[in-house]
Structure 1
Amino acid sequence: MHSTPKHLRSNLTAFLMIAPLLILLAIFVIWPLVYAFYLSGYETYYNRPAEFVGLDFYKFVLTDPLFWSALWVGLKYSLLVVPTILVLSLLLASFIKTLSGKMAAILKTTVYVPAVVSVVLTGLVFVFMYQDSGVVNAFVGMFGIEPVAWLNNDSTVLAAISVPGIWLGFGISTLIMLAALLDIPESYYEAASLEGANWFQRTWYITIPMLKNVFLYLLVTGFTLAMQEYLIPLIMTNGGPVNATTTTNLFIFNQFRDTSAFAFTYSITAALILFVVLGLLSLLIFKAIKSDKAVDG
């Protein structure tokens, strides 16, 4: 009984410590979502009051083949970018770990550079690289291959715009992976080596299981960011050719720029549906790699 006031004070202190975070969360996350859902129920006009239409716009979006096409493009883009980043980051982080202090510092600084480069600048640079006289066609020309219209061919364009996406996300993922690798005790690898395990076996049975939490984090954040990508396709192809690179967010952005009366509500509704899709995708990733075991170690 005498411990009750102390317990209450402890709870109050804990609440006061997290109150600023809860307030910011309510202002910048919860309230915008609630208000967006409210707006999705109204058809907005420029010259007269908004009209309540209920869930009509959800039906419009969910029956629009262009929306589903954009969602599929975003998923394909994510599947090209995220797994590639994870594999390359693990390989480079493993290599950096073997280097001396000075060389490791130089390489860590170098790989971090893409993280601070503008997406717009990156997109423009890669557009020039993919031109007929660009460095990419100059390279393939060394093998007797004719110049390829990388950004005008629907069979190559998605892979082409995935490369700058990989380049932009590669650096920070490598550093996160490296930090996790350095936390793995060397004694594990030494014991495995004494048992005759080669590099692949040490990586498969020690490194990857020990990095499960990191893989989970990078998978969820990577897919969430990649599915929301719109700047790279906007700058490099403007969604073309024939919507081959129109990702979901670019589709929503184009709808928002439309001058029709229902464009505003349509874009909000599509964005809310994308929010739900990303939430479900994150849950699937957690379930697929058994996140409960990952978190418990």
Structure 2
Amino acid sequence: MVSAVSTERRAVRHRADARKYRDTKVAYLFLLPVVALLGIFVVWPAIYAGFLSFQNWSFYKDPEFVGFRNFTAVLSDPLFWASVGRGFAFVAMTVPPMLLLAFFFASLVVSVSRRFAGILKVSIYIPTIISSVITSIVFVLMYDYSGGLLNWFLGIFGIDPIAWIGDPAWALLAIAIPAIWLGMGLTSLIMVAAMVDIPTEYYEAAAMEGANWWQKTAYITLPQMKNIILYLLITGFVAAIQQFELPLVMTGGGPLDSTTLPNLFIFNHFRNDINVGYSIAAALVMFVVLGTVSAIVFKFVNSERLVD
């Protein structure tokens, strides 16, 4: 009797192992196309870029190994580090205001009726589907010195026209405003989804204790949205410091390189410099900078999984 039970248990275990092995093969089969695409379009280009960063290479001659010369040139180039510093300034101009505005907009959406909330969500998402190039052209027309809408509005109050994209003191800020407008839609919708997911019992209990909106926000909403805010902070930082289309179309990096952000700096070198290895080395250094800052943010912002 005991032998029969043991045999049956082994048979059941064998069938379970066979089923698990079959499921594993199917899973690997589904993963194969994704792994192949990643290998072709991500892994191999990254490896080849790393190889070319150690070469003196152009489109007109074969690669010549130069060691760390390209990286030394990048690290000792004050123009490169100036563009990186400008990128961090651009992040400070765009990410905190965008997160703050998106948070208040999301709070408004979850507090109104469902029908009005749908209208608000559609309206805030519209900028996300507009091309950055079209947005750049529209804002250039708005910033025009003599006929722009913004200077016309300031003129009503007796304020002299301002060269928004022609003055180094204003140009970076002028680019930051459309960047906030473009990024706020998706950020707001993500925050709305996070707020809707917070259990209503928390707010009901706080209301019974007499908590106002600010207290509910500080002690319930923000702690519950901690991981979402961290995600938006990281993605917003990466997107802002890598901004390319707005400065390219609106100012071309000027005036006086005041809007030359890192990606535009690398692109200009790639377009104008015979040695492509420098541009690739600069891109890899920028990758290290982004990774380091992201790791620091994860280190100092507690991102442990929330437990109800």
TM-score, normalized by length of structure 2?
Answer: 0.90
Q: Give the corresponding residue for 1:168.
A: 182
Q: Give the corresponding residue for 1:285.
A: 297
User: In the TM superposition, what is the alpha-carbon distance from 1:20 to its structure 2 partner?
Assistant: 3.0
Matched, 1:81 2:82: no
Of 169, 174, 190, which aligns to 1:155? 169
Identity %: 46
Q: How does 1:11-50 map to 2 (within 5 A)?
A: 11-50=24-63
Provide the secondary structure at the position in 2 that maps to 1:50.
strand
Q: How does 1:47-196 map to 2 (within 5 A)?
A: 47-132=60-145, 133-196=147-210
Distance 1:73 1:192, change over 3 A: same
Distance 2:61 2:205 in 1: 75
Q: Which runs of 5+ in 1 are unaligned?
A: none
Distance 2:136 2:89 in 1: 19
Q: Which runs of 5+ in 2 are unaligned?
A: 1-9
Figure out how many residues of one structure are paired with residues of the other and give that number: 294
User: In the TM superposition, what is the alpha-carbon distance from 1:8 to its structure 2 partner?
Assistant: 4.3
User: In the TM superposition, what is the alpha-carbon distance from 1:50 to its structure 2 partner?
Assistant: 2.0
Q: Give the corresponding residue for 2:6.
A: none
Provide the secondary structure at the position in 1 that maps to 2:169.
coil
Of 191, 195, 198, which aligns to 2:212? 198
User: In the TM superposition, what is the alpha-carbon distance from 1:19 to its structure 2 partner?
Assistant: 3.2
Provide the secondary structure at the position in 1 that maps to 2:116.
helix
Q: Give the corresponding residue for 2:279.
A: 267
- Whose Rg is larger? 2
Provide the secondary structure at the position in 2 that maps to 1:25.
helix
Distance 1:296 1:78 in 2: 32
User: In the TM superposition, what is the alpha-carbon distance from 1:261 to its structure 2 partner?
Assistant: 2.5
Amino acid in structure 2 at the alignment position of 1:102: R
User: In the TM superposition, what is the alpha-carbon distance from 1:5 to its structure 2 partner?
Assistant: 5.1
Distance 1:280 1:296, change over 3 A: farther
Distance 2:126 2:59 in 1: 45
Matched, 1:218 2:232: yes
Distance 1:173 1:48 in 2: 46
Kept in 1, the 8 Å contact 2:54–2:65? The answer is yes
User: In the TM superposition, what is the alpha-carbon distance from 1:7 to its structure 2 partner?
Assistant: 5.2
RMSD: 1.8
Distance 1:295 1:236, change over 3 A: farther
Measured against aligned partners, the alpha-carbon deviations of 1:147-186 in whole angstroms (never above 9, x if no partner) come to 1111122221111110000000011111111111111111
Provide the secondary structure at the position in 1 that maps to 2:255.
coil
